[in-house]
Amino acid sequence: MTTGTATGTATGTAPVLEVRDLEVRFGDVPVVRGVGYTVEPGEVLGVVGESGAGKSVASLAVMGLLPRHAKVSGSVLLHGRELLGAPEKELAAVRGDTMSMIFQDPLSALTPVYRVGDQLAEAVRVHQRVSRERAAERAVELLDLVGIPNPRQRARAFPHEFSGGMRQRAMIAMAIANDPDVIICDEPTTALDVTIQAQVLEVLKSARRETGAAIVLITHDLGVVAGIADRVLVMYAGRGVEAGTVRDVYHRSRMPYTIGLLGSVPRLDAGRDVPLVPIDGSPPSAAALPPGCPFEPRCPMAIPACARAEPPLAEVAPGHSAACVRSGEIGEPRPVPPEDVPTAAAGAYPGVPPPRPREGRAVVLEVDGLVKHHPLTKGAVFRRRVGTVHAVDGVSFDIREGETLGLVGESGCGKTTALMEILELARPERGRVVVFGRDTAALTPHDRLAVRRHLQVVFQDPLASLDPRMTVHDIVGEPLVTHGYTDTGPRVRRLLRLVGLEPAHAARYPQDFSGGQRQRIAVARALALEPKLIVLDEPVSALDVSIQAGVINLLAGLADRLGLSYLFVAHDLAVVRHIAHRVAVMYLGRIAEIGGADQVYGAPMHPYTQALLSAVPIPDPDKERRRRRILLDGDLPSPADPPSGCRFRTRCPKFKVLTDAQRVRCVEEEPAVRPLEGDHGASCHYAEKLGVV
């Protein structure tokens, strides 16, 4: 097998970490097939790829943390010393000391039964001969260093008492406890909300400044890499397919996979009219790789030679290598010309007439002052109520015919609760929900069934939303049967075709499909009764980038062709940018800002929207590094005890610069959404426009 190495551009300094020809097999399945890279002191290497590309396994192999049945070969040199095959004693001495690691999910990565401070102190005492007291003291210092407020007190807390962002800070503290030379970060911000991600990336940057450590940052997020990495290694099907400086890889990509990936990722700086370019098919399974280039079956530029042999990762320009036989032809810097790549479904359809003005269209969903509180219970064994969660606390919006409203916000903002309240079609706790002109409070069971016919839903996890024990035919036909249809066969086949699936696959089970195909099945089921309004709950967030684009395009295309209305709930602002006509931003159970997508993204007026948008990374190193990031302080306050007045004031950057006299209003008066320009409104007493994208 041929391999290549992503060699550093800066010469002269000795690399801290050098990985060569790394291969990992689980049984007969090669998961990593010859990965190589070097990292120099203080350098950030981004390793990007979709799930299953082998990037996490490769990094665990470097740390020697793979389970025993994994077969690892190749070479891992830390300061020139071979780690592969080294005895456990030697490895243990290196781990956490010279080389440390930060994991993806900080909740499961901390031992639940020990205090955070003790776990930090343990890390210190493993490598340093210091007293118990000194180690405890050092733990507090470390927590302080990563920006945890009241570190002395928080050191005594258990991991489950920390928020996600705080846990990841604690993990970083643990990683830098012994002043390492290399920190391997495995998807360090994937489990976090975008504003918390921005905070944690900041902490990571300062950790690098403090320790001078090199960082290997493994992520699927092209935006994060664009902002922080010096060099990038793109992985596909267990090996590196392109490597080079971040600008070379992003602006002068030489590998069709990289080009495809960059073309399919939703961007904050491109609107609904710029269609995404999905990559056909899905990544190959490690157990059944094609004989030639693993990307060949999906590659729009494939030639017969591609299917014969796997090309090596070879240098195509100084410091820039790619594994493609046609990399020489892919010369010039460009975004991909769309005609190069066949599109499954383009966003805009020439045949569809431009929509009538908003005012002239019928309202399909109206939500007015919706409130949903639920009890907060504590203790798994001694369960009892300790308070009330104000999950949704007075939310109003409307959706008109043929319109997509994106409801966005971070976890805990109440967007999913709001959606469930609407779908229940019951009398809400307070406020009003009117669907197709009918108030849900007054619906009889018979009416409710009639309304359900026109109101359908698509959920986040396509596997969880399809009953694994039913065939695709039964799944897609279920709404038809429920609403009295008898001969469902032909209709199910038509629906499958409509969402781009083979009708012949109706007899299969959901587990026989890939993630993107499953979500298409869920969309087919939602379309079965020809609904007017579809509620989508994070419909693409469980999918890989290259698959996501296809589903977004499908949804956008269907909406345009069939005149559907969508309530599109998502946490990913870039995804929403690509599909929504209008956007509502939620914070702690209330709407912070609402308006046309172009207005909200282009000139946000609420300080929270501004911070949120500024925190979303853009997959373009030049743009990304020029942007000003608005960092928010701390975590989301508990929805059981929201701050008085404006709920955002405790973290608001604007609140900080107000005079005391102005602040009184924020503390005492809860701002309502007030229209500022047309139907663009924000719930801030001191709203003003600010471009952040």
* Residue numbers 256-285 binding other proteins by CB under 8 A: none
- Which residue, 195 or 465, is less far from other proteins as judged by CB? 465
Q: What is the CA radius of gyration of the chain?
A: 26
Please state, in angstroms and rounded to a whole number, the distance separating the CA atoms of residues 562 and 589: 32
Q: Which residues lie closer than 8 Å to 147 by C-beta, 6 or more apart?
A: 169, 199, 203
Task: Report if residue 485 touches other proteins, rule: CB under 8 A.
Answer: no
Are the CB atoms for 217 and 56 separated by under 8 Å? no
Q: How far apart are the first and last CA of the chain?
A: 44
Q: What is the smallest separation between the CB atom of 249 and other proteins, expressed in angstroms?
A: 29
Find the binder of other proteins among 2, 13, 108, 662 (CB under 8 A): 108
Contact string 548-577 vs other proteins (x = CB under 8 A): -------------xxxx-------------
Minimum gap (Å) between residue 480 Cβ and other proteins: 10
**Identity of the residue, 208 or 493, whose beta carbon is nearer to other proteins in the bound complex:** 493
Applying CB under 8 A, among 13, 150, 482, 644 the residue interacting with other proteins is 482
CA distances from 478 to 461, 484, 490 (A): 19, 10, 14
Cβ-based nearer residue to other proteins, 238 or 557: 557
Taking the least distance from each CB to other proteins, the nearer of 480 and 611 is 480
- Among residues 77, 274, 423, 631, which is the contact residue for other proteins, using CB under 8 A? 423
Please report, as residue ranges, which positions from 363 to 422 form the binding site for other proteins (by CB under 8 A): 378-384
Does residue 131 touch other proteins according to CB under 8 A? no
Residue 324's alpha-carbon distances to 309, 392, 395, in angstroms, are 11, 52, 52
Q: How far apart are CA 659 and CA 41, in angstroms?
A: 45
Alpha carbon of 267 to those of 50, 264, 573, 692: distances in Å?
17, 9, 9, 14
CA angle 318/323/327 to nearest 5° reads 70
Strands 455-458 and 533-537: parallel
86 binds other proteins (CB under 8 A): no
Backbone angles phi, psi at 176, to 5 degrees: -100, 5
Q: What is the SS3 assignment for 92-152? A: HHHECCCEEEECCCCCCCCCCCCCHHHHHHHHHHHHCCCCHHHHHHHHHHHHHHCCCCCHH
Long-range contacts of 294-298 (CB under 8 A, 24+ apart): 294/236, 294/237, 294/238, 294/239, 295/236, 295/237, 295/241, 295/255, 295/256, 295/257, 298/257, 298/260
One residue of 70, 84, 109, 376 binding other proteins per CB under 8 A: 109
234 contacts other proteins (rule: CB under 8 A): no
Of 512 and 622, which CB lies nearer to other proteins in the complex structure?
512
Binding flag, residue 174, other proteins (CB under 8 A)? yes
Note every long-range contact of 472-475, with CB atoms under 8 Å and residues 24 or more positions apart, other chains counting: 472/496, 472/505, 472/506, 472/507, 472/508, 472/509, 472/510, 472/513, 472/521, 473/506, 473/507, 475/510, 475/521, 475/525
- Residue 2 in the binding site for other proteins (CB under 8 A): no
Task: Name the nearest CA neighbour of 619 among 320, 259, 89.
Answer: 259
Q: Does 493 bind other proteins (CB under 8 A)?
A: yes
Binding residue (CB under 8 A) for other proteins from 92, 274, 336, 434: 92
Q: Are 565 and 365 in contact (CB under 8 A)?
A: yes
Single residue of 149, 468, 678, 691 touching other proteins by CB under 8 A? 468
Identify the sign of the CA torsion 679, 684, 688, 692: negative
The piece of 87-95, 218-226, 319-327, 616-624 that touches other proteins (CB under 8 A) is 87-95
Q: How far is the CB of 379 from other proteins (least distance, A)?
A: 5
Q: Shortest approach of other proteins to residue 95 CB, angstroms? A: 5
Among 218-226, 495-503, 613-621, 658-666, the segment contacting other proteins (CB under 8 A): 495-503
Q: Tell me the closest approach of the beta carbon of residue 376 to other proteins, in angstroms.
A: 12
Please tell me whether residue 337 binds other proteins under the rule CB under 8 A.
no
**Binding of residue 478 to other proteins (CB under 8 A):** yes
Residue 152 beta carbon to other proteins: minimum distance, rounded to whole angstroms: 19
Q: Which is nearer to other proteins, 105 or 144 (CB)?
A: 105
467 binds other proteins (CB under 8 A): yes
Q: How many CB atoms lie within 10 A of CB 631?
A: 14
- In the set 29, 348, 464, 664, which binds other proteins (CB under 8 A)? 464
Q: Which residues contact 304 (CB under 8 A, 6 or more apart)?
A: none
Binding to other proteins by residue 288, rule CB under 8 A? no
The first and second tokens of residue 522, run together, are 């869920």
CA–CA distances in Å: residue 253 to residues 278, 338, 349, 523, 618: 17, 15, 30, 34, 17
**Judged by CB under 8 A, does residue 158 bind other proteins?**
yes
Instruction: Identify the residue among 453, 629, 665, 689 touching other proteins (CB under 8 A).
Output: 453
Whole-angstrom distance, CA of residue 666 vs CA of residue 655: 8
Q: Angle at the Cα of 627 (from 622 to 630), degrees rounded to 5?
A: 155
Contact window for other proteins (CB under 8 A) among 90-98, 200-208, 275-283, 404-412? 90-98
State which residue, 109 or 658, has the beta carbon closest to other proteins.
109
Does position 81 bind other proteins by CB under 8 A?
no
Cβ distance to other proteins smaller for residue 329 or 447? 447
Nearest to 239 by CA among 521, 69, 71, 34: 34
Regarding 429 and contact with other proteins (CB under 8 A), the answer is: no
Of the two residues 59 and 614, which places its CB atom closer to other proteins in the complex? 59
Q: Hey, which residues between 591 and 630 contact other proteins (CB under 8 A)?
A: none
User: Could you say whether residue 532 binds other proteins (CB under 8 A)?
Assistant: yes
Q: By the 8 A CB rule, do 399 and 559 touch?
A: no
305/296 Cα distance (integer angstroms) = 10
User: Of 410, 467, 324, nearest to 609 (Cα)?
Assistant: 410
Binders of other proteins in range 111-130 (CB under 8 A): 111-114, 122-123, 126-127
Of 503, 648, 562, 158, the C-alpha closest to 345 is 562
Q: Which is nearer to other proteins, 109 or 301 (CB)?
A: 109
Identify whether the C-beta of residue 396 lies closer than 8 Å to the C-beta of residue 425.
Answer: no
Name which position in 100, 199, 282, 683 contacts other proteins (CB under 8 A).
100
Which region, judged by CB under 8 A, interacts with other proteins, from 236-244, 405-413, 526-534, 634-642?
Answer: 526-534
User: Of these, 483, 625, 656, 674, which contacts other proteins (CB under 8 A)?
Assistant: 483
Stretch that binds other proteins, among 203-211, 287-295, 322-330, 491-499 (CB under 8 A): 491-499
Structure token digits, residue 429: 């706790």
Site for other proteins in 61-80 (CB under 8 A): 63, 65, 67
Work out how close the CB of 126 gets to other proteins at its nearest, in angstroms, rounded to a whole number: 4
Nearer to other proteins, 493 or 627 (CB): 493
